[in-house]
Chains A and B, each alone.
Chain A
Amino acid sequence: MKTFSVRFLTIVVCASLLCIPHYASAESDLSNTISIAQDMSMSDKDRIVAIRALGASGDAHVSGPLIDILGNLSETGAIRSSAVRALSKLGTPRGEILQVLEKVYRDPLTGNNLSYTVLLYLGYMQATESLPLLSEALSHSNSMIRFKAAQALGMLQHDGAVDALVSHMENEGDPMVRAEMVQAIGQTQNPVTEAALIQALRSDQEPLVRYNAAIMLGKFKTFSPEARSALEAARDDASPSVRAKVKGIMQ
């Protein structure tokens, strides 16, 4: 028994010794990657590759350098957008990352495309914690912000997100945003979303919105009597495209 223990201990020690250089090397690689990511004298391409690698590393320690890059206003939009994606991929520490993303979105100096990226990646992260921000973004004066907020809310697949989308549908003036809202609502399948889609299919003035409402209703596994009735009624829709789509769904 004693011999076995000694042998076991020897194996563990040897294995540890073999692993140390490996860990040291991995740590050194990560340090090099961080250096490249932060080095403003390097090309954007090299830095983006390094930032992406940091995001994929799974090491929560790299969140600090990535947050610094994202917060640095002298960085280009390309670099900062890459940092947003890397932080989203990294995922931890979640609270801190979401806080930084929200801060960047709210910064008046943040350009439009960086804002769109932040909203999209809040969606990818299924950030229900950011529900207030995403709901608020549905009232933004920039219609593309509202569009990306709707897209992100759809990804959350959350009751609160559905409520926000449904309540903003009525006041949304841009048909393209309303069509995206309908697609987002349809990501969650429950009686509330079904009712909202039926309402859009029956009464929205824009054919594009009715067309998307029909598509999303068609994705429900079973049709309720109300949904079937709305789809039947849409066979006589004023738009030939909506009629054709509904015909395909009902078949």
Chain B
Amino acid sequence: MKRSTCLFSVIIIVLVIAGSGLALDRGAILYHTSEEGKMYGLTALELPCSLIEVLVLREVGSGHVALYIGNERIIHAVSGGVKETNSRNFIPQSDLNSGFQYVGAKVPLNYDNPAVWSDIRKSQLILFARQQIGKPYDIDFSHQKGEDGDFTCVGLVEYVYENFEGGGGGYNITPSGYYPGDGTGRSENQTYNCLETGFMDDTRQNSFANDVEFSQFEHPLANTLDMGREYNGERYIFFPYTQYLQTTTEATVTDVPVSGGEGSDDDNWWECFVATAAYGSSLHPHITVFREVRDRYLRKSSVGRMFLTAYYRYSPPLARFIADHVALRIAVRIGLVPLLGISYMTVTFGPGMTAAMLTLLAIFPFLLFYRNRKRRMLH
């Protein structure tokens, strides 16, 4: 009895030590690429050159940054503003499917040294990050670091680290300033050239600034579209990979899930909820078809919007009831089959063709009945 108790205690102690040693520390900075593994700086930048390209291709492959706050939660700046969400939503499943890749996690130097980074200091960092939740996203990258109360993803993380201890405190990850591009090696002027992707250093290798936040950015439409921050008549942008390159932070092991989430940021958990309740997950392929119909067609018509408003207003109690009853979930799934078929046809062939096919299908029994009746009359 004594031996088994002792063995059990040893196992528990080993598990606790192993667990505490492996856990990603709060305050860690997470990075991922944009679609197809593109990340401005890590890979060649593919900025659109013409206005048409800009309007069609808004994604410039900047990648993304988030602050890990512990307990599998992150804080990040996205188009809806500064949000707190599950760490799995760092790279949602839909983004994984588009080739988004996890780059890694970094923490400040000596982050595991309590004399430098005490528990309270880390808590103060998280406290300050939580205070930023709800603030807006800097959609045209004109401020980035919260000067006007709005943030980009990388600007938020930089701002939190620099300011969490009030005036004079904080941790400066990237040296502040503007790199004008004066031809000094690795931080060569990062001019975008529409004919040949730029960002070449002196050795003609594709590289990226690693010693200042804002790199000069030249683009034919930069002024027209008010791209980036204006400084001395030039345009500058602070991108995630600039921060990732800094030697003020070091790589750390990521042992928490950082991908595969639903990407809802908790705000749209209820979307397609009757179907979600029936299928058990909003990631089910059938839900994707319903969502496509909603976003492509229903949202864009006044009748569709009226339907959606009524649906979202009156269906949640029904969805909750369905979710709690297994037999009902199966029944609803069977009942949704015709709707799924129509939705699939709409997404594949378009609403016009679908309507025509459904009309034919509807009048077919009548045609058959009419033909049989005519035959009987003739006989």
Contacts and interface: CB of A to CB of B under 8 A. Distances in A.
Interface of A: 40-41, 43-45, 48-49, 52, 72-74, 76-82, 85, 108-109, 111-114, 116-117, 119-121, 144, 147-148, 151, 175-176, 179-180, 183, 207-208, 211-212, 215, 239-242
Given A121-B134, A180-B130, 7 more contacts: A40-B300, A41-B299, A78-B79, A79-B80, A147-B130, A240-B118, A241-B119
Contacts of A240: 118
A45 B58 contact: yes
Contact of A78 (B78, B131, B270, B305): B78
B44 interface: no
A73 B313 contact: yes
B309 A77 contact: no
B80 A113 contact: yes
A117 B84 CA distance: 11
Given A74-B305, A78-B78, A241-B118, A113 B85 contact: yes
A108 B315 CA distance: 13
B80 to A, nearest CB: 3
A interface: dominant SS:
helix
A81 B84 contact: no
Contact of B133 (A52, A74, A148, A241): A148
A120 B312 contact: no
29 contacts: A40-B299, A41-B299, A41-B300, A43-B58, A45-B58, A52-B139, A72-B305, A73-B309, A73-B312, A74-B309, A81-B80, A81-B81, A85-B136, A112-B84, A113-B81, A113-B83, A114-B267, A116-B133, A116-B134, A117-B133, A120-B135, A121-B134, A148-B133, A176-B130, A183-B127, A207-B119, A208-B120, A208-B124, A215-B166
B269 A117 contact: no
A111 B83 CA distance: 11
B interface: dominant SS:
mixed
A214 B83 CA distance: 29
A112 B267 contact: yes
A109 B270 contact: yes
Contacts of B79: 44-45, 48, 78
B184 interface: no
Contacts of A112: 84, 266-267
Interface of B: 58, 78-81, 83-85, 118-121, 123-124, 126-127, 130-131, 133-137, 139-140, 166, 264-270, 294, 299-300, 305, 308-309, 312-313, 316
Contacts of B127: 176, 179-180, 183, 208, 212
Contacts of B124: 208, 211
Contacts of A81: 80-81, 134, 136, 267
Given A72-B309, A208-B123, A108 B316 contact: yes
B123 A176 contact: yes
Contact of A77 (B126, B267, B305): B267
Given A45-B58, A74-B312, A113-B85, A151 B265 contact: no
Given A45-B58, A114-B267, A144-B84, A241 B134 contact: no
A14 to B, nearest CB: 36
A78 B269 contact: no
B295 to A, nearest CB: 9
Interface centre among B130, B134, B312 (most CB of A within 10 A): B134
A48 B316 CA distance: 27
A239 B114 CA distance: 12
Given A45-B139, A49-B139, A239 B299 contact: no
Contacts of B265: 77, 111, 113
Contacts of B58: 43, 45
| A-B interface, 10 closest residue pairs, ranked by CB to CB distance from nearest | A77-B267, A78-B80, A111-B267, A120-B134, A73-B312, A74-B308, A117-B134, A241-B120, A112-B266, A40-B299
